[in-house]
Amino acid sequence: MMKYLIYDGTLEGLFTVVFDYYGDIFNTTIEKESDQLDFFEKEFINTDLKKAQRVKKALEDKISPGFLKEIQRNFRSKDLNKENLIARMIRLSFHYGRNFCGSENKYAIKFRENLKNYGSELHTYKGLVRFSKIQEDFLCSEIAPENDLIIELALHFLKRMPKEKFIIYDKNRNKAFFSIEGKFELVEIINLKIEESDEEEFYKSLWISFYDAISIKERKNSKLMISNMPKKYWKYLPEKNRIKIKKKETKKKPYDGTKELN
């Protein structure tokens, strides 16, 4: 008979479920704790860090550290059924070994598909995140990813900008990564009030000019451009989301913020 299990939504919680029900894992359905109170015929599993640690260590030692990393990424993926997938993959991989992951088994294929989807979204965001300078000299960017990738994404930028103050704000999950000169934290956010600095418009218009000039008109291929950069990413890209660029009066020559050489 199928057993319905509830866990607290953390990876440690899921590992505790795997520990407690390892032998019977194929007869379970695991769900994340939710606000809907239907505990009817469902068992809540209390997270036990010691048990979770033992599962984690066994995964690293008996299968591979790479597999643990893949589980973590699956856990943060958009797959709604990831808990059950991960639990079954753990059982099958302990049984068959690391090679199982590359097999044509349906769980292995779904597991790899999630990894691919997560990895490619992360890679795309590394390129398509756009920072703009806001109050107090923060560089701020908004993202709306399908997978929960904010930490890995932010660590990428932390390596690049250890001396900057920056914010990455995940609008889908209401959380933001704050980094101030190398010190960082992940916080929950209801509403982020952003005031762009004056120089932003100048750099945005420079970037848009560059974007337009770099394309070869004789080779125009919008279909290819869109397939490389799907429209769901356009919202936060200045070059694709052109709110009216104010035309400045031509009578006065606008000062562009840089000095002339000649």
The site for other proteins (CB under 8 A) is made up of 96, 99-106, 109, 123, 126-133, 139, 141, 157, 159-164, 182, 203, 205-207, 209-225, 228-229, 237, 239, 253-254, 256-262
Please state the closest distance from residue 118 (CB atom) to other proteins, in A: 16
Please state the closest distance from residue 225 (CB atom) to other proteins, in A: 5
Nearer to other proteins, 58 or 161 (CB): 161
Spatial separation of the C-alpha atoms in residues 206 and 229, rounded to whole Å:
21
Please state the closest distance from residue 214 (CB atom) to other proteins, in A: 5
User: What are the C-alpha distances in Å from 166 to residues 132, 142, 194?
Assistant: 9, 11, 13
Nearer to other proteins, 1 or 261 (CB): 261
Nearer to other proteins, 50 or 217 (CB): 217
Please state the closest distance from residue 181 (CB atom) to other proteins, in A: 9
Task: Give the DSSP letter string of 16-43.
Answer: HHHHHHGGGGGGEEEEE--SS---TTEE
Residues in the chain: 262
Angle (CA) 118-119-124 rounded to 5° is 100
Please state the closest distance from residue 105 (CB atom) to other proteins, in A: 8
Nearer to other proteins, 24 or 212 (CB): 212
Q: Which amino acid is at 200?
A: E
Please state the closest distance from residue 114 (CB atom) to other proteins, in A: 14
Nearer to other proteins, 51 or 73 (CB): 73
Q: Is 58 exposed, middle or buried (0-12, 13-18, 19+ CB in 10 A)?
A: middle
Nearer to other proteins, 14 or 108 (CB): 108
Alpha helices in 129-198 (DSSP H): 150-160
Instruction: Determine if residue 137 is left, alpha or beta; phi over 0 gives left, psi from -120 to 50 gives alpha, anything else beta.
Output: left
Structure token pair of residue 196: 């762009």
